Amino acid sequence: MTDDEPSTWDWREVADADLAAVVLSVAAPRGRVPVVGIDGRSASGKTTLAGRLAELLVPAAVVHTDDIAWWHSHFDWPDVLLDDVLVPLLSGADVRAYRPPGWVARGRDGHLDYPADVSVILVEGVGVAQARLRPHLDIAIWVASDREVATARGLARDTARLGSREAAMSDWDDWMAAEEPFLAHDRPWTRVDLVVAGTGLHDDRDPHVLRVAGPA
């Protein structure tokens, strides 16, 4: 992969079931539950891809880094993810009633549960393939996105979540102020194994066919 995020990729069409098989073939020989990282810019389609792979790789544990990072840090959360979630899961221990640091500090209700008896652990979020975390992933995927499409998608999502376009734009701008310099410095796409076209995850194409770049 190049240092600068490419604007185009050498795409090939792959059935989502075949992509799931590739993920397992690359990650499984470790003799333990494989850890798959799904990275990409905001609103690129990471959560959608994680959900699709989880349906194909049942049973799967899906970890959203937005949950881990909430009111803790934009990107300085790898140690929390490793110590509180991945290390216990890989040792065979369920993670039950987990409340990340920001949840405790801000009094957020609820908790997170992650079962250990799974076929794969899918970790999705901006910065999952960052340099500090990449050695702990068995395979990393970058979800490529068109900036304008991702922005429109993100603002629509956040407007529904926050209740107003104005609040969504403010939240988006605040997040971009952290995301853009982080990605420019860390360049996580340079250390991934596969790239998936995020735009194709949301359009009218065959929902079971993905555009993929990387080793066949």
Domain residue spans of the chain? 12-62+118-213
Model's pTM, two decimal places? 0.93
Residue 132's nearest CA partner among 82, 194, 90 is 82
For 210, the enclosing helix (H) or strand (E) is strand 209-213
DSSP 128: T
Per CATH, the architecture of 12-62+118-213 is what?
A: 3-Layer(aba) Sandwich (3.40)
DSSP 6: P
pLDDT for the residue numbered 8:
79
Residue whose entry in the numeric block shows the structure tokens 């494989």: 34
Rounded-to-integer distance, Cα 101 and Cα 95, Å: 15
Residue whose entry in the numeric block shows the structure tokens 């990650």: 27
pLDDT for the residue numbered 146:
86
pLDDT tens across the length of the chain (216 residues): 445 788 778 999 999 999 999 888 877 667 889 999 999 999 999 999 999 999 999 999 999 999 999 999 999 999 999 999 999 999 999 999 999 999 999 999 999 999 999 999 999 999 999 999 999 999 999 999 888 888 999 999 999 999 999 999 999 999 999 999 999 999 999 999 999 998 767 555 677 889 999 875
